[in-house]
Amino acid sequence: MHDYIKERTIKIGKHLVETKKTVRVIAKEFGVSKSTVHKDLTERLPEINPELAIEVKNILDHHKAIRHLRGGEATKMKYKLNSQSEKAPIEPVG
């Protein structure tokens, strides 16, 4: 494994533990794909730093356990915003 991959994996793992952000958000922040972040955290990190990998696994398991709630909340907000925009009065042009 290349050194830059090891460094990135450890940085991403520490960042996840400190911030508890989602894989999607961390991927954007680090400029890599969600798949890369997930592979770094679940496959590479246990080989590099097993102690950190355990903490990361607990956070990822928690995110997986609550994902249905996050998705439901996002859908709720989507429909709430759509219904508000439909109720706005339409002003004639010109």
Contacts 24+ apart (CB under 8 A), 28-32: 32/8
Residue 84 pLDDT: 79
Would you state the torsion angle of the CA atoms of residues 43, 49, 54, 56, taken in this order, to the nearest 10 degrees?
-70
Residue-range definition of the domain harbouring residue 73 = 3-84
Residue 74 pLDDT: 83
Query: What count of residues does the chain have?
Result: 94
Number of domains composing the chain: 1
56 neighbors 13 (Cβ within 8 angstroms): yes
Residue 93 inside a domain? The answer is no
Residue 49 inside a domain? The answer is yes
Residue 94 inside a domain? The answer is no
Positions in the chain short of pLDDT 50: none
Residue 92 pLDDT: 67
Residue 36 inside a domain? The answer is yes
Residue 90 inside a domain? The answer is no
